[in-house]
Amino acid sequence: NAEMQLVSSNAELHQACLNLEFNKTKLNLPSIRPDQSEAELHNTQKQVEEYLARIKEERARISCQPSSMPVRCYEQLCKACQLRRVDTMLLPCQHVAVCRVCSPLLYVCPSCSAQVQSFRRVLFLIRESVDV
């Protein structure tokens, strides 16, 4: 019975290694070898952090782009409370993602995790297009 558990555990570990290798390849992450020096590991860690920062930036960029979503910016709900409509821009990231009630309570932007230094209330001027 213990031998079967060991075989099962080894199979799971092997599958996890294959999944990790696949994900690493998919993300184009640097390889980590057991014989790497501390300096090499530090460099690898730095590269991974840069990849993660790029992913975070890309997510923030995508969230700022106009999309084909039917919800207009002024109709979106606050990402913090999900109760009121957005009406406040967080600075310095400039995301309009929260309401005026939640904005003073936030330390980081819910869209990009940037540190909130200040905020400004925004007004949406709504002009519906009219077909002539």
Report pLDDT digits (tens) over 19-46: 666 665 556 555 666 676 777 777 777 8
- Read off the pLDDT band of 69 (50, 70, 90): very low
Q: How many CB atoms lie within 10 A of CB 116?
A: 19
Q: What's the whole-number mean pLDDT along residues 62-78? A: 59
CATH code for the part of the protein at 70-132: 3.30.40.10
Q: What would the two tokens of residue 78 be?
A: 């606050």
Residue 61 has pLDDT above 70, yes or no: no
pLDDT given at position 72: 55
Angle at 76 between CA 70 and CA 98, to 5 degrees: 155
pLDDT for 110 beyond 70: yes
47: left (phi over 0), alpha (psi -120 to 50) or beta: alpha
Task: Tell me the backbone φ, ψ of residue 115, rounded to 5 degrees.
Answer: -70, 130
Contacts of 104 (CB under 8 A, 6+ apart): 119
Q: Where are the domains of the chain?
A: 2-64, 70-132
pLDDT at 119: 93
Q: How many CB atoms lie within 10 A of CB 86?
A: 23
For the beta sheet containing 118-121, the strands, ordered from the edge strand earlier in sequence to the opposite edge, are 96-98, 88-91, 118-121
Nearest 5°: phi and psi at 90?
A: -90, 140
What's the pLDDT band for 6 if we cut at 50, 70, 90? low
